[in-house]
């Protein structure tokens, strides 16, 4: 078995961190020290995140940049994630090649981390068996729209007629879209987001205001906020990330309940997709279609497929401690699931849309 050396990236400082990362042509802003620092400084209502990103060095000279954050939540649970915004940055192979044997060594190291649960979505691992190193392979899906430089091709051949008609309805109703990354506009979006959260029956937002405040400081070429206005009032919005050099990732969306009749979401995505085409991106990732209990949202799937998204299946590997597995089973049989709600979610290292999707 290969011997590995682990170096804490945070201890190297900003200059060395970025110097190492940008050896890889696949490196993006989401691998940078600045982005990691923003994550660590963002507090989520008592939940704390600490940079635990590693430089993994093998004896033959192979080096791997491995994004990782330690997440301590209320109740004392410790979890690990690539980042708490459910975005994640892919692992980067900085030097050499990652063989299957080296990948298994990384799994072995991860298995030794004490945590309630840990999941791996990184695309650098070859497809392993159903179980490896204490991790079980699971499947999930997202929807991805393949883009063309000429947006009219996407509009005419990939958008369903129903989606085109609803987009036209939004335009004829007088809905207007603005793109702005100002702190004031992120505050406006957050108010719409709170309305959406309440409509979902949640007492607290998944992401507090500090998260959106932090996004306002990210360079505009990496994150974009689109707001839909109707008669001078902001009624909906979406946030997208120019996540890699080929992929735009739709991360979050919100809408005021009484304005769905004007179809703002269709127009918001149309504008975001059109801009992505103009900038030369190849893919628009519409993200997973599940709620926060993991239930598949059929209506959301239908919306994404009408916008041209194709379902793309991917694998991830998950490991949970015995205590977490027991608590999850108790949660499933509890009459009132909210009693154990805090312990019911496995931590997942989300790495959406990094590898080129296999679109048939």
pLDDT of residue 144: 95
Quote the Cα angle for 328-105-49, to 5°. 50
The CATH class of 4-137+316-343 is alpha beta
CA distances from 119 to 113, 135, 229, 277 (A): 12, 8, 39, 33
Question: What are the pLDDT digits (tens) for 313-344?
Answer: 877 777 766 555 555 555 555 433 443 333 33
Task: Identify the burial level of 242 via C-beta atoms within 10 angstroms of its C-beta, where 0-12 means exposed, 13-18 middle and 19 or more buried.
Answer: buried
Residues of the chain with CATH 3.40.630.30: 4-137+316-343, 148-281
CA distances from 48 to 1, 110, 159, 194 (A): 35, 21, 41, 22
pLDDT of residue 346: 34
CA distances from 353 to 43, 46, 140, 281, 337 (A): 26, 30, 12, 13, 31
pLDDT of residue 99: 84
CA 192 to chain centroid, in Å, comes to: 20
DSSP per-residue string spanning 337-356: GGGGGGG--------TT-SP
pLDDT of residue 358: 39
Q: Which residues pair with 5 in a beta bridge?
A: 57
pLDDT of residue 80: 81
With residues binned 3-state (H G I as helix, E B as strand, rest as coil), the percentages for the chain, rounded to 5, are 35, 30, 35
What distance in Å separates the CA atoms of residue 65 and residue 98, rounded to the nearest whole number?
12
Regions in the chain scoring below 70 on pLDDT: 1-2, 43-47, 73-76, 82-84, 86-88, 120-130, 132-133, 292-293, 320-360
pLDDT of residue 123: 64
Tell me the fold of 148-281: Aminopeptidase (3.40.630)
Place of tokens 């008592």: 46
């Amino acid at each position: 078995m290969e011997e590995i050396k682990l170096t804490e990236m945070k201890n190297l400082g900003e200059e060395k961190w970025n110097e190492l990362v940008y050896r890889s042509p696949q490196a993006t802003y989401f691998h940078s020290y600045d982005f990691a620092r923003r994550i660590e400084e963002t507090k989520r209502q008592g939940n704390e995140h600490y940079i635990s990103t590693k430089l993994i060095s093998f004896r033959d000279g192979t080096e791997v940049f491995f994004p990782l954050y330690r997440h301590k939540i209320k109740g004392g649970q410790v979890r690990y994630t690539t980042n708490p915004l459910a975005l994640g940055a892919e692992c980067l192979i900085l030097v050499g090649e990652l063989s299957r044997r080296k990948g298994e060594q990384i799994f072995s190291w991860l298995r030794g981390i004490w945590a309630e649960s840990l999941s791996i979505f990184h695309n650098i691992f070859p497809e392993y068996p159903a179980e490896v190193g204490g991790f079980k392979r699971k499947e999930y899906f997202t929807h991805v729209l393949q883009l063309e430089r000429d947006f009219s091709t996407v509009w005419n051949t990939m958008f369903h007629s129903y989606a085109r008609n609803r987009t036209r309805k939004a335009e004829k109703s007088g809905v207007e879209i603005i793109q702005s990354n100002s702190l004031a506009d992120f505050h406006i979006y957050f108010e719409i987001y709170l309305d959406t959260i309440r409509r979902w029956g949640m007492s607290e937002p998944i992401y507090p205001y500090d998260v959106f405040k932090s996004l306002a400081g990210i360079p505009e070429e990496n994150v974009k906020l689109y707001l839909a206005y109707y008669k001078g009032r902001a009624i909906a919005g979406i946030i997208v990330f120019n996540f890699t050099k080929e992929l735009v990732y739709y991360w979050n969306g919100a809408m005021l309940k009484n304005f769905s009749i004007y179809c703002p979401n269709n127009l918001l995505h149309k504008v975001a997709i059109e801009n992505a085409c103009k900038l030369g991106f190849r893919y628009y990732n519409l993200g997973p279609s599940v709620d926060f209990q993991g239930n598949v949202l059929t209506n959301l799937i239908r919306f994404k497929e009408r916008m041209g998204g194709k379902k793309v299946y991917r694998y991830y590997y998950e490991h949970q401690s015995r205590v977490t597995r027991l608590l999850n089973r108790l949660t499933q049989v509890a009459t009132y699931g909210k009693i154990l709600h805090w312990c019911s979610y496995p931590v997942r290292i989300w790495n959406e849309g990094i590898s080129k999707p296999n679109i048939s």
